[in-house]
Amino acid sequence: MNIAVVGTGYVGLVTGTCFAETGNNVICVDIDANKVTRMKNGEVPIFEPGLDLLFERNTKAGRLHFTTNLGEAIKDAEIIFLALPTPPGEDGSADLSYILGVADQLSNLIEDYKIVIDKSTVPVGTAEKVHARIAKNCSEELFDVVSNPEFLREGVAVDDFLKPDRVVIGTSSEKAREVMRKLYNPFVRQGNPIIFMDERSAEMTKYAANSYLAARISFMNEIANLCEKVGANVDMVRKGMGSDNRIGKRFLFPGVGYGGSCFPKDVQALAKTANQHEYEFKILNSVMNVNRIQKSILAEKIKRFFQHDLQGKTIAIWGLAFKPNTDDIREAPALYIIDELLEAGANIRAYDPEAMENVAKQYGDRITLVDSLYGALDGADILAIVTEWSVFRQPDFNRIKENLSRKAIFDGRNLYDLNTMEKHGFYYESIGRNPVNRHLVVSNGKPVNS
Ligand X SMILES: NC(=O)c1ccc[n+]([C@@H]2O[C@H](COP(=O)([O-])OP(=O)(O)OC[C@H]3O[C@@H](n4cnc5c(N)ncnc54)[C@H](O)[C@@H]3O)[C@@H](O)[C@H]2O)c1
Cβ closest to ligand X, residue 98 vs residue 113: 98
Identify the residue among 27, 29, 376, 415 touching ligand X (CB under 6 A): 29
Smallest distance, ligand X to C-beta of residue 349, A: 28
Q: Does 156 bind ligand X (CB under 6 A)?
A: no
Q: How many CB atoms lie within 10 A of CB 85?
A: 17
Applying CB under 6 A, among 24, 58, 121, 414 the residue interacting with ligand X is 121
Q: Check: CB of residue 99 under 8 Å from CB of residue 200.
A: no
Give, rounded to a whole angstrom, the gap between the first and last alpha carbons of the chain: 65
Nearer to ligand X (CB atom), residue 9 or residue 259: 9
Query: Per rule CB under 6 A, is residue 164 in the interface with ligand X?
Result: no
**Closest CB 210 distance from ligand X, rounded Å:** 8
* Minimal distance, residue 437 CB to ligand X, in Å: 39
The Cα–Cα gap between 302 and 441 comes to 12
Residues 256-315 that bind ligand X (CB under 6 A): 261-262
Active site residues: 262
The whole-angstrom distance between residue 9's C-alpha and the CA centroid of its chain comes to 12
- Binder of ligand X out of 1, 2, 22, 31 (CB under 6 A): 31
* CB 272, min distance to ligand X, A: 14
Nearest to residue 317, comparing CAs of 355, 257, 373, 396?
373
**Interatomic CA distance for residues 149 and 412, integer angstroms:** 31
> Measured from the CB atom, is 82 or 316 closer to ligand X?
82
One residue of 98, 219, 281, 374 binding ligand X per CB under 6 A: 98
d(CA 320, CA 221): 20
- Binding letters toward ligand X, positions 38-77, x by CB under 6 A: ----------------------------------------
Rounded Cα distance, 243 and 224, in Å? 18
Rule CB under 6 A: choose which of 7, 255, 333, 412 binds ligand X.
Answer: 7
- Least Å from the CB of residue 259 to ligand X: 12
Q: Number of residues interacting with ligand X: please give it, by CB under 6 A.
A: 26
Site track for ligand X across 70-89, x = CB under 6 A: -------------xxxx---
Residue 208: CA count within 13 A, CB half-sphere: 8
User: Quick check: 9 binds ligand X (CB under 6 A)?
Assistant: yes
Which region, judged by CB under 6 A, interacts with ligand X, from 27-35, 235-243, 303-311, 439-447? 27-35
Residue in 20, 80, 102, 382 binding ligand X, rule: CB under 6 A:
102
Nearer to ligand X, 12 or 254 (CB): 12
Using CB under 6 A as the criterion, which residues of the chain lie in contact with ligand X when the complex forms? 6-12, 29-32, 35, 83-86, 98, 101-102, 120-121, 150, 152, 154, 261-262
